[in-house]
Structures are given as structure tokens and as C-alpha cells.
Amino acid sequence: MVLVIDVHCHLNFKAFDKDYDSVIKRAFEKGITGIINVGTRLDSSQKAVEFANQYSNLWAIVGIHPHHADKPDENWEEEILRLAQNKKVVAIGEIGLDYFRYISNGVVEPKLQKDIFIKQIEIAIKLGLPLQIHNRQAGKEIVEILSNYKNSLLNPPGMFHCFAGNIEILKKILGMGFYVGFDGNITYEGIAPGEDTKLSDLALYTPLDRILMETDAPYLTPVPHRGSRNEPSYAIITASFIANLKKIPFDIFASKTAENSKSVFKLK
């Protein structure tokens, strides 16, 4: 029996509007035992909570993504604080910094990103929730900010979602107690744009007891389905890839990463 938990996906996005129920059921039939649906704005966070309340093995994470740090809703802090008190909400995220220059929207002003990031760290501390961190070419600054709260964060403090970066940053976040999520893009050839270290090398360095599985669906679809919409059931493909990479039997790898997920997010 497969025991993979997808700790980060976006079934609350438009890509799943017509068939989210069948996607969820297919995931459970394939052997996914839990799904965490993640908000990136106020509306998607609200939807993540709504979905979590409909399914027993579905949970929610709420927060404002750094891409939206320049256009937050007027009452976003109060609403995130309210939503996060729902019993199915297991973390604040995805929050962080993103300095990659996207074709669609460039880079959101770093100060705005930092302000919203810090406010959400403080919400998580207030509510006793872990963090789910988004990091794109901003690892050093994220580590510096988190270090200011090292005595207030939970143990474990949370995870870095879809980790990309270098071994130096990886060492630092592991030293801080964070777990590390890997996605379908680890199955791609080469190095991700703007990065200097292969994801496979990062996964090899990360100890099994710190690895979490995720899809980031509908994005980052693993080979051999690359080019199509990603979905939670494909977390099994990525788990199998990393298990082979690390030369660990799949059942042991899947079981341990599921156990890790429960440890970080207190899944019941």
C-alpha cells in the first residue's frame, strides 16, 4: 500500500474548477493518503479551507504568496488570522521571498515582500502554527529573517516548499530544523533557470527524515507526464524517482516521508 502525502498543491486554482472532486478521489485510489491544499491569496486561502472541510484527508494552508505582496486585500491580516484558526488549517503559507524575474510580472518590490513575510511569520507564532516557505533566489535573506525568530518558531518550524538553491542554504535550513519539499521538476534534465545546483544533488544531500513529498499541482508535472496538468496522484511518481536516486526501497521512502509530514503538520 502506498503511503504518500502531497503536502503542497493548489486544487483551489482554476485548473481544477471542473473536476477537483474526481482528482481528489483518483489520488486516494492511487495510494495518496493525504493532501494539503495551499492558498496564495485571500480568496484561494478561503477556498482551501472550504475544500479541507469537505474531505477527511484534506487539509489547508493559508497565506499570501510573495507574488501578491504588492496587492494584498485591505483586511488580509485579519482574514488570514481568522481562517488559520480553523481546525483543518495546518500551517501559514506559502509565504516567503521571490526575487526571480518573471516574464509576466517581473519582481515584486522586495520591501513589500519582506513586510508581508514578517507579518505572516508573526501570525504563525501567535497561533502556534508551522511555516511553509516559498524561496526563489532569496535563500540568504529568508534565512536571515527566520533567524530573528528562531526562539519563537515551533520545533519543527515548518518546511521549505519546492526547494531550489544551493547546498550552503540547504545546510542552514536543515540546521534550523526545517524540512524540505521536492516536486516533479526533480525529474527534469539539467538545472532550473537561475539556479546553480541540480535538484537531484539537493535531494541526495537531504536526509530521509527531513524529506517531504509535494506536487505543486497544477504545476511542475513530473516526467513522463510533463506538459500536462499536474495532480496529487503524481506525487507517487516523484517519490519513486527520489527513492531510486537515494537507493532506498520505495515502501520505506514513502512511509518515512508520510511520517515526516505528520510530524511537521500534526496531521490526524
Q: For the segment 36-72, what is each residue's pLDDT rounded down to a tens digit?
A: 999 999 999 999 999 999 999 999 999 999 999 888 8
CATH 3.20.20.140 fits 4-265, yes or no: yes
* Mean pLDDT confidence for 214-227: 98
- Residue 73 — pLDDT band, cuts 50, 70, 90? confident
Indicate the pLDDT class of residue 106, thresholds 50, 70 and 90.
low
Per-range mean pLDDT, top range of 69-73, 194-198, 203-207: 203-207
Share of the chain above pLDDT 70, in %: 97
The stretch 217-244 carries a mean pLDDT of: 98
Cα dihedral sign, 209-210-216-222: negative
Maximum CA extent, the chain: 49
Average pLDDT in the chain: 95
Q: Residue 145 in contact with residue 201, Cβ under 8 Å?
A: no
Whether the per-residue pLDDT at 31 is higher than 70: the answer is yes
Residue 268 pLDDT exceeds 90: no
* Least confident interval from 37-41, 79-83, 187-191, 202-206: 187-191
3 state SS for 147-215:
HCCCCCCCCCCEEEECCCCCHHHHHHHHHCCCEEEECHHHHCCCCCCCCCCCHHHHHHHCCHHHEEECC
pLDDT at 2 over 80: no
This model's pTM is above 0.75: yes
The answer to whether residue 126 scores a pLDDT higher than 70 is yes
What is the predicted pLDDT for the residue at 72? Answer: 82
Q: Decide: 91 and 60 in contact? Cβ < 8 Å.
A: no
pLDDT of 194: 78
Residue 72: name the closest of 123, 112, 99, 127 by CA.
112
Cβ(59)–Cβ(89) below 8 Å: yes
| 189, three cell numbers | 534534465
Mean pLDDT (whole number) for 95-100: 92
Q: What is the pLDDT of residue 1?
A: 61
196 band by pLDDT with thresholds 50, 70 and 90: confident
Of the two residues 101 and 92, the one the predictor is more confident about is: 92
Is residue 35 a contact partner of residue 231, using CB atoms and an 8 Å limit?
no
Residue 103 pLDDT greater than 60, yes or no: no
Please give the Cα distance from 7 to 212 (Å, whole number).
7
pLDDT band at 105 (very low <50, low <70, confident <90, very high): low
